[in-house]
Chain A
Protein backbone atom coordinates (compact mmCIF):
# COMPACT_ATOMS: atom_id res chain seq x y z
CA UNK A 1 0.00 0.00 0.00
CA UNK A 2 2.93 2.30 0.66
CA UNK A 3 4.06 1.75 -2.92
CA UNK A 4 0.65 2.78 -4.15
CA UNK A 5 0.83 5.90 -2.03
CA UNK A 6 4.37 6.67 -3.22
CA UNK A 7 3.28 6.28 -6.82
CA UNK A 8 0.40 8.65 -6.32
CA UNK A 9 2.71 11.18 -4.71
CA UNK A 10 4.97 11.03 -7.75
CA UNK A 11 2.02 11.54 -10.08
CA UNK A 12 0.86 14.42 -7.91
CA UNK A 13 4.33 15.99 -8.09
CA UNK A 14 4.17 15.80 -11.87
CA UNK A 15 0.80 17.49 -11.87
CA UNK A 16 2.04 20.20 -9.54
CA UNK A 17 5.14 20.88 -11.60
CA UNK A 18 3.13 21.08 -14.80
CA UNK A 19 0.33 23.30 -13.65
CA UNK A 20 1.43 25.22 -10.58
CA UNK A 21 3.00 28.02 -12.60
CA UNK A 22 -0.12 28.99 -14.49
CA UNK A 23 -2.22 28.39 -11.38
CA UNK A 24 -0.05 30.70 -9.29
CA UNK A 25 0.02 33.28 -12.10
CA UNK A 26 -3.77 33.30 -12.24
CA UNK A 27 -4.14 33.59 -8.47
CA UNK A 28 -1.56 36.35 -8.31
CA UNK A 29 -3.20 38.25 -11.16
CA UNK A 30 -6.55 38.01 -9.41
CA UNK A 31 -5.59 38.98 -5.87
CA UNK A 32 -2.32 40.87 -6.32
CA UNK A 33 -0.90 39.55 -3.07
CA UNK A 34 1.66 36.81 -3.03
CA UNK A 35 0.73 35.25 0.29
CA UNK A 36 -2.95 35.10 -0.63
CA UNK A 37 -2.13 33.69 -4.06
CA UNK A 38 0.01 30.97 -2.50
CA UNK A 39 -2.76 30.04 -0.06
CA UNK A 40 -5.27 29.79 -2.89
CA UNK A 41 -3.01 27.60 -5.02
CA UNK A 42 -2.17 25.39 -2.05
CA UNK A 43 -5.87 24.90 -1.27
CA UNK A 44 -6.63 24.07 -4.90
CA UNK A 45 -3.89 21.45 -5.26
CA UNK A 46 -4.60 19.84 -1.92
CA UNK A 47 -8.25 19.65 -2.90
CA UNK A 48 -7.19 17.80 -6.05
CA UNK A 49 -5.01 15.51 -3.94
CA UNK A 50 -7.80 14.73 -1.51
CA UNK A 51 -10.38 14.04 -4.18
CA UNK A 52 -8.07 12.71 -6.89
CA UNK A 53 -9.49 9.23 -6.66
CA UNK A 54 -12.85 10.63 -7.67
CA UNK A 55 -11.49 12.82 -10.44
CA UNK A 56 -13.42 12.25 -13.63
CA UNK A 57 -11.32 12.98 -16.69
CA UNK A 58 -14.45 13.26 -18.82
CA UNK A 59 -15.13 16.54 -17.04
CA UNK A 60 -12.04 18.16 -18.44
CA UNK A 61 -8.29 18.29 -18.30
CA UNK A 62 -6.41 18.41 -15.04
CA UNK A 63 -5.24 21.93 -15.86
CA UNK A 64 -8.80 23.12 -16.42
CA UNK A 65 -9.80 21.53 -13.11
CA UNK A 66 -6.96 23.18 -11.21
CA UNK A 67 -7.49 26.60 -12.79
CA UNK A 68 -11.20 26.45 -12.16
CA UNK A 69 -10.50 25.59 -8.52
CA UNK A 70 -8.08 28.50 -8.24
CA UNK A 71 -10.52 30.89 -9.86
CA UNK A 72 -13.42 29.81 -7.67
CA UNK A 73 -11.36 30.05 -4.50
CA UNK A 74 -10.12 33.50 -5.40
CA UNK A 75 -13.65 34.71 -6.08
CA UNK A 76 -14.80 33.19 -2.79
CA UNK A 77 -11.95 34.94 -0.99
CA UNK A 78 -12.95 38.25 -2.57
CA UNK A 79 -16.52 37.82 -1.44
CA UNK A 80 -15.39 37.08 2.11
CA UNK A 81 -13.38 40.28 2.24
CA UNK A 82 -15.10 43.24 3.91
CA UNK A 83 -12.79 45.74 2.30
CA UNK A 84 -12.04 44.94 -1.30
CA UNK A 85 -8.71 46.68 -1.33
CA UNK A 86 -7.66 44.55 -4.27
CA UNK A 87 -9.53 47.01 -6.40
CA UNK A 88 -6.53 49.26 -5.96
CA UNK A 89 -4.47 46.82 -8.01
CA UNK A 90 -4.20 48.30 -11.46
CA UNK A 91 -4.42 46.33 -14.64
CA UNK A 92 -0.99 47.50 -15.65
CA UNK A 93 1.01 46.56 -12.60
CA UNK A 94 0.76 44.57 -9.45
CA UNK A 95 1.26 46.17 -6.08
CA UNK A 96 3.71 43.44 -5.10
CA UNK A 97 6.09 42.25 -7.76
CA UNK A 98 7.73 38.89 -7.60
CA UNK A 99 11.51 38.71 -7.84
CA UNK A 100 12.51 38.68 -11.47
CA UNK A 101 14.27 35.36 -11.04
CA UNK A 102 10.94 33.69 -10.47
CA UNK A 103 9.50 34.95 -13.70
CA UNK A 104 9.61 32.12 -16.14
CA UNK A 105 10.41 31.99 -19.78
CA UNK A 106 11.23 28.33 -19.80
CA UNK A 107 8.02 26.86 -21.13
CA UNK A 108 7.76 27.68 -24.77
CA UNK A 109 4.27 26.32 -25.15
CA UNK A 110 3.00 28.22 -22.15
CA UNK A 111 4.69 31.41 -23.28
CA UNK A 112 3.30 31.14 -26.79
CA UNK A 113 -0.21 30.47 -25.52
CA UNK A 114 0.06 33.35 -23.10
CA UNK A 115 1.24 35.69 -25.83
CA UNK A 116 -1.61 34.68 -28.10
CA UNK A 117 -4.29 35.07 -25.45
CA UNK A 118 -2.91 38.43 -24.34
CA UNK A 119 -2.86 39.62 -27.94
CA UNK A 120 -6.46 38.58 -28.53
CA UNK A 121 -7.54 40.27 -25.32
CA UNK A 122 -5.57 43.44 -25.99
CA UNK A 123 -7.08 43.79 -29.45
CA UNK A 124 -10.60 43.95 -28.11
CA UNK A 125 -12.31 47.32 -27.91
CA UNK A 126 -11.51 48.80 -24.51
CA UNK A 127 -15.09 48.60 -23.24
CA UNK A 128 -15.30 44.88 -24.01
CA UNK A 129 -11.88 44.11 -22.57
CA UNK A 130 -12.76 46.03 -19.42
CA UNK A 131 -15.86 44.03 -18.57
CA UNK A 132 -14.14 40.71 -19.30
CA UNK A 133 -11.17 41.56 -17.08
CA UNK A 134 -13.36 42.87 -14.29
CA UNK A 135 -15.46 39.72 -14.41
CA UNK A 136 -12.79 37.07 -14.80
CA UNK A 137 -9.79 38.50 -13.00
CA UNK A 138 -11.67 40.81 -10.68
CA UNK A 139 -14.34 38.32 -9.68
CA UNK A 140 -17.09 40.92 -10.09
CA UNK A 141 -20.59 39.91 -11.11
CA UNK A 142 -22.19 41.53 -14.12
CA UNK A 143 -24.51 43.52 -11.85
CA UNK A 144 -21.58 44.82 -9.80
CA UNK A 145 -19.80 45.85 -12.99
CA UNK A 146 -22.93 47.56 -14.23
CA UNK A 147 -23.16 49.49 -10.99
CA UNK A 148 -19.51 50.56 -11.04
CA UNK A 149 -19.57 51.57 -14.69
CA UNK A 150 -23.06 53.10 -14.57
CA UNK A 151 -24.28 50.84 -17.36
CA UNK A 152 -27.44 48.78 -17.81
CA UNK A 153 -26.77 45.10 -16.90
CA UNK A 154 -27.76 44.08 -20.40
CA UNK A 155 -25.04 46.28 -21.87
CA UNK A 156 -22.44 44.66 -19.66
CA UNK A 157 -23.52 41.17 -20.65
CA UNK A 158 -23.62 42.20 -24.31
CA UNK A 159 -20.06 43.51 -24.14
CA UNK A 160 -18.91 40.28 -22.50
CA UNK A 161 -20.56 38.28 -25.23
CA UNK A 162 -19.11 40.34 -28.09
CA UNK A 163 -15.66 40.32 -26.54
CA UNK A 164 -15.53 36.56 -26.00
CA UNK A 165 -16.89 35.93 -29.48
CA UNK A 166 -14.15 38.11 -30.98
CA UNK A 167 -11.48 36.31 -28.98
CA UNK A 168 -12.87 33.01 -30.16
CA UNK A 169 -12.65 34.20 -33.74
CA UNK A 170 -9.08 35.40 -33.15
CA UNK A 171 -8.08 31.99 -31.81
CA UNK A 172 -9.62 30.36 -34.83
CA UNK A 173 -7.60 32.49 -37.21
CA UNK A 174 -4.26 31.67 -35.69
CA UNK A 175 -2.64 28.73 -34.01
CA UNK A 176 -4.87 26.81 -31.69
CA UNK A 177 -5.01 27.77 -28.05
CA UNK A 178 -6.22 25.09 -25.73
CA UNK A 179 -5.86 24.29 -22.08
Chain B
Protein backbone atom coordinates (compact mmCIF):
# COMPACT_ATOMS: atom_id res chain seq x y z
CA UNK B 1 0.00 0.00 0.00
CA UNK B 2 1.40 3.37 -0.98
CA UNK B 3 1.63 6.41 1.21
CA UNK B 4 -1.10 7.95 -0.96
CA UNK B 5 -3.36 5.00 -0.20
CA UNK B 6 -2.62 5.31 3.46
CA UNK B 7 -3.42 9.01 3.29
CA UNK B 8 -6.81 8.28 1.86
CA UNK B 9 -9.77 7.37 3.94
CA UNK B 10 -8.85 3.69 4.16
CA UNK B 11 -8.12 3.92 7.84
CA UNK B 12 -10.23 5.16 10.65
CA UNK B 13 -8.15 7.02 13.19
CA UNK B 14 -10.32 10.05 13.57
CA UNK B 15 -8.66 12.14 10.88
CA UNK B 16 -6.54 14.08 13.33
CA UNK B 17 -3.34 14.28 11.27
CA UNK B 18 -4.22 17.52 9.44
CA UNK B 19 -5.38 19.25 12.61
CA UNK B 20 -2.23 18.02 14.35
CA UNK B 21 0.21 19.45 11.79
CA UNK B 22 -1.73 22.74 11.84
CA UNK B 23 -1.44 22.87 15.64
CA UNK B 24 -5.22 22.80 15.87
CA UNK B 25 -5.65 19.94 18.32
CA UNK B 26 -6.27 20.80 21.94
CA UNK B 27 -3.17 20.09 24.09
CA UNK B 28 -4.59 16.86 25.52
CA UNK B 29 -5.69 15.73 22.06
CA UNK B 30 -2.26 16.46 20.64
CA UNK B 31 -0.59 14.45 23.39
CA UNK B 32 -2.93 11.52 22.77
CA UNK B 33 -2.30 11.74 19.03
CA UNK B 34 1.46 11.68 19.56
CA UNK B 35 1.04 8.50 21.57
CA UNK B 36 -1.15 7.08 18.81
CA UNK B 37 1.48 7.89 16.20
CA UNK B 38 3.90 5.50 17.85
CA UNK B 39 1.69 2.59 16.89
CA UNK B 40 -0.10 3.70 13.69
CA UNK B 41 1.79 3.68 10.43
CA UNK B 42 -1.17 5.19 8.58
CA UNK B 43 -1.21 8.30 10.70
CA UNK B 44 2.58 8.54 10.66
CA UNK B 45 2.49 8.49 6.86
CA UNK B 46 -0.25 11.09 6.80
CA UNK B 47 1.65 13.38 9.15
CA UNK B 48 4.79 12.91 7.08
CA UNK B 49 2.86 13.84 3.95
CA UNK B 50 1.06 16.87 5.38
CA UNK B 51 3.77 18.34 7.63
CA UNK B 52 5.74 19.89 4.73
CA UNK B 53 2.56 21.65 3.59
CA UNK B 54 2.02 23.09 7.05
CA UNK B 55 5.70 24.05 7.18
CA UNK B 56 5.28 26.00 3.95
CA UNK B 57 2.28 28.01 5.20
CA UNK B 58 4.39 30.85 6.69
CA UNK B 59 5.29 31.74 3.12
CA UNK B 60 1.63 32.49 2.45
CA UNK B 61 1.92 35.53 4.70
CA UNK B 62 2.81 38.88 3.13
CA UNK B 63 6.60 38.99 3.24
CA UNK B 64 8.48 41.76 5.00
CA UNK B 65 12.02 42.35 6.12
CA UNK B 66 12.50 42.29 9.84
CA UNK B 67 12.72 45.85 11.19
CA UNK B 68 16.33 46.95 11.61
CA UNK B 69 15.71 47.88 15.23
CA UNK B 70 14.71 44.30 15.93
CA UNK B 71 17.99 43.06 14.48
CA UNK B 72 19.97 45.42 16.70
CA UNK B 73 18.07 44.38 19.81
CA UNK B 74 18.34 40.64 19.19
CA UNK B 75 22.05 40.72 18.39
CA UNK B 76 22.80 43.01 21.33
CA UNK B 77 20.93 40.67 23.65
CA UNK B 78 22.78 37.67 22.24
CA UNK B 79 26.14 39.38 22.74
CA UNK B 80 25.18 40.24 26.28
CA UNK B 81 24.24 36.66 27.02
CA UNK B 82 27.52 34.84 26.71
CA UNK B 83 26.54 31.23 26.37
CA UNK B 84 28.16 28.83 28.78
CA UNK B 85 31.19 27.26 27.18
CA UNK B 86 30.10 23.93 25.74
CA UNK B 87 31.69 20.79 27.04
CA UNK B 88 33.55 18.65 24.50
CA UNK B 89 30.57 16.31 24.21
CA UNK B 90 28.14 19.14 23.71
CA UNK B 91 30.38 20.81 21.18
CA UNK B 92 30.13 17.75 18.98
CA UNK B 93 26.39 18.21 18.77
CA UNK B 94 26.32 21.95 18.23
CA UNK B 95 24.67 23.23 15.12
CA UNK B 96 27.19 26.01 14.83
CA UNK B 97 30.12 23.81 13.98
CA UNK B 98 31.32 21.76 11.09
CA UNK B 99 30.86 18.01 11.25
CA UNK B 100 34.27 16.43 11.35
CA UNK B 101 33.94 14.30 8.19
CA UNK B 102 32.80 17.30 6.15
CA UNK B 103 35.59 19.40 7.65
CA UNK B 104 38.17 16.79 6.78
CA UNK B 105 36.90 16.59 3.22
CA UNK B 106 36.86 20.34 2.78
CA UNK B 107 40.35 20.72 4.17
CA UNK B 108 41.67 17.95 1.96
CA UNK B 109 40.34 19.66 -1.14
CA UNK B 110 41.75 23.01 -0.10
CA UNK B 111 45.14 21.57 0.73
CA UNK B 112 45.26 19.78 -2.61
CA UNK B 113 44.48 22.99 -4.38
CA UNK B 114 47.13 24.81 -2.41
CA UNK B 115 49.68 22.44 -3.94
CA UNK B 116 48.36 23.09 -7.41
CA UNK B 117 48.71 26.78 -6.80
CA UNK B 118 46.69 29.79 -7.60
CA UNK B 119 46.66 31.15 -11.10
CA UNK B 120 46.10 34.82 -11.42
CA UNK B 121 44.37 35.49 -14.68
CA UNK B 122 43.88 39.15 -14.09
CA UNK B 123 43.79 40.94 -17.39
CA UNK B 124 46.25 43.39 -15.94
CA UNK B 125 47.78 43.82 -12.57
CA UNK B 126 46.91 47.46 -12.63
CA UNK B 127 43.22 46.70 -12.93
CA UNK B 128 43.14 45.53 -9.32
CA UNK B 129 41.01 42.53 -10.27
CA UNK B 130 42.21 39.09 -9.27
CA UNK B 131 40.55 36.35 -11.25
CA UNK B 132 40.92 33.07 -9.44
CA UNK B 133 39.89 29.89 -11.23
CA UNK B 134 37.99 27.59 -8.94
CA UNK B 135 37.93 23.85 -8.88
CA UNK B 136 34.50 22.41 -9.66
CA UNK B 137 33.20 18.90 -9.43
CA UNK B 138 30.65 19.13 -12.25
CA UNK B 139 31.67 18.12 -15.74
CA UNK B 140 31.80 20.94 -18.29
CA UNK B 141 31.11 23.51 -15.58
CA UNK B 142 33.41 26.36 -14.71
CA UNK B 143 33.70 28.82 -11.89
CA UNK B 144 35.97 31.69 -11.04
CA UNK B 145 36.21 34.17 -8.25
CA UNK B 146 36.75 37.80 -9.18
CA UNK B 147 38.20 39.78 -6.28
CA UNK B 148 38.32 43.56 -6.37
CA UNK B 149 39.37 45.67 -3.39
CA UNK B 150 38.62 42.87 -0.97
CA UNK B 151 35.17 42.19 -2.43
CA UNK B 152 34.49 39.05 -4.42
CA UNK B 153 32.09 37.90 -7.07
CA UNK B 154 31.66 34.23 -7.88
CA UNK B 155 31.00 33.64 -11.56
CA UNK B 156 29.73 30.20 -12.59
CA UNK B 157 28.89 28.91 -16.04
CA UNK B 158 27.26 25.69 -17.24
CA UNK B 159 26.70 24.73 -13.65
CA UNK B 160 24.01 22.18 -12.80
CA UNK B 161 21.12 23.34 -10.62
CA UNK B 162 21.24 22.20 -6.99
CA UNK B 163 19.51 18.89 -6.20
CA UNK B 164 15.76 19.07 -5.56
CA UNK B 165 15.02 20.70 -2.26
CA UNK B 166 18.52 22.11 -2.03
CA UNK B 167 20.28 25.36 -2.71
CA UNK B 168 23.93 26.30 -3.07
CA UNK B 169 25.50 27.92 -0.03
CA UNK B 170 28.76 29.86 0.03
CA UNK B 171 31.25 29.35 2.86
CA UNK B 172 34.41 31.21 3.80
CA UNK B 173 37.43 29.49 5.23
CA UNK B 174 40.05 31.37 7.19
CA UNK B 175 43.38 29.62 7.62
CA UNK B 176 42.76 26.02 8.50
CA UNK B 177 39.64 26.83 10.47
CA UNK B 178 36.22 25.41 9.86
CA UNK B 179 34.31 27.06 7.00
CA UNK B 180 31.92 29.68 8.29
CA UNK B 181 28.54 30.24 6.65
CA UNK B 182 27.79 33.38 4.67
CA UNK B 183 24.47 35.03 4.05
CA UNK B 184 24.68 34.03 0.40
CA UNK B 185 22.53 31.25 -0.98
CA UNK B 186 22.09 30.89 -4.72
CA UNK B 187 20.90 28.82 -7.61
CA UNK B 188 21.74 29.16 -11.28
CA UNK B 189 19.83 30.17 -14.37
CA UNK B 190 18.41 27.62 -16.80
CA UNK B 191 21.69 27.85 -18.73
CA UNK B 192 23.67 27.16 -15.59
CA UNK B 193 24.96 30.70 -15.18
CA UNK B 194 25.28 32.78 -12.08
CA UNK B 195 27.08 35.94 -10.96
CA UNK B 196 26.97 35.99 -7.19
CA UNK B 197 28.35 38.89 -5.24
CA UNK B 198 29.70 38.17 -1.76
CA UNK B 199 29.06 40.98 0.71
CA UNK B 200 31.84 39.81 3.02
CA UNK B 201 35.35 41.22 2.86
CA UNK B 202 37.88 38.66 1.63
CA UNK B 203 40.59 39.86 3.98
CA UNK B 204 41.98 36.84 5.79
CA UNK B 205 39.92 34.40 3.77
CA UNK B 206 41.90 31.41 2.54
CA UNK B 207 39.20 29.76 0.45
CA UNK B 208 35.65 30.22 -0.78
CA UNK B 209 33.65 27.02 -0.83
CA UNK B 210 30.24 26.13 -2.22
CA UNK B 211 28.16 23.19 -1.08
CA UNK B 212 24.61 22.09 -1.84
CA UNK B 213 22.51 22.44 1.28
CA UNK B 214 18.88 21.91 2.21
CA UNK B 215 16.71 24.88 1.24
CA UNK B 216 17.13 27.64 3.77
CA UNK B 217 20.81 26.85 4.18
CA UNK B 218 22.81 25.16 6.88
CA UNK B 219 24.97 26.22 9.78
CA UNK B 220 27.66 23.73 8.87
CA UNK B 221 28.35 22.00 5.55
CA UNK B 222 26.43 18.79 5.07
CA UNK B 223 27.93 17.95 1.67
CA UNK B 224 31.38 18.01 0.15
CA UNK B 225 32.23 21.22 -1.71
CA UNK B 226 31.26 21.42 -5.38
CA UNK B 227 33.28 24.61 -5.85
CA UNK B 228 36.53 25.51 -4.13
CA UNK B 229 38.30 28.77 -4.84
CA UNK B 230 41.54 29.16 -2.90
CA UNK B 231 42.65 32.72 -2.23
CA UNK B 232 46.02 32.00 -0.67
Residues of B within 8 A of A (CB): 7, 14-19, 21-26, 49-50, 52-67, 69-71, 73-75, 77-79, 81-83, 85-86, 90-91, 93-96, 164-165, 167, 180-183, 185, 187, 214-219, 222
Contacts and interface: CB of A to CB of B under 8 A. Distances in A.
Given A11-B180, A102-B65, A179-B215, A171 B15 contact: no
Given A12-B78, A110-B59, A24 B53 contact: no
B24 A21 contact: no
B70 A21 contact: no
Contacts of B15: 154, 157-158, 161
A135 B59 contact: no
A178 B214 contact: yes
A42 B94 contact: no
Nearest to A132: B22
A33 interface: no
A18 B61 contact: no
Contacts of A15: 219
Q: Interface residues of A toward B: which range?
A: 35 or more
Contacts of B18: 157, 160-161, 163-165
Contacts of B21: 164
A83 interface: no
A173 interface: no
B96 A49 contact: no
A158 B18 CA distance: 8
17 contacts: A16-B75, A17-B71, A25-B58, A25-B62, A41-B70, A42-B77, A49-B78, A53-B93, A62-B217, A72-B23, A113-B59, A114-B63, A118-B60, A121-B60, A136-B22, A136-B23, A179-B52
A46 B215 CA distance: 22
Interface of A: 1, 4-5, 7-26, 28-30, 34, 38, 41-42, 45-46, 49-50, 52-57, 61-64, 67, 70-72, 75, 94, 98, 102-104, 106, 109-111, 113-114, 116-118, 121, 132, 135-137, 139-143, 145, 154, 156-158, 160-161, 163-165, 167-168, 171, 176-179
B113 to A, nearest CB: 24
B213 to A, nearest CB: 9
Contacts of B54: 136, 164
B73 A143 contact: no
A102 B69 CA distance: 12
A29 B90 CA distance: 36
B83 A142 contact: no
Contacts of B24: 135-136, 140-142, 145, 160
Contacts of B216: 18-19, 61-64, 178-179
B83 A5 contact: yes
Given A104-B65, A114-B60, A160-B19, A53 B94 contact: yes
Given A21-B65, A29-B62, A132-B57, 14 more contacts: A8-B96, A18-B216, A24-B64, A41-B74, A42-B70, A42-B74, A52-B95, A67-B55, A104-B63, A157-B14, A160-B18, A164-B54, A165-B50, A179-B52
Contacts of B25: 141-142
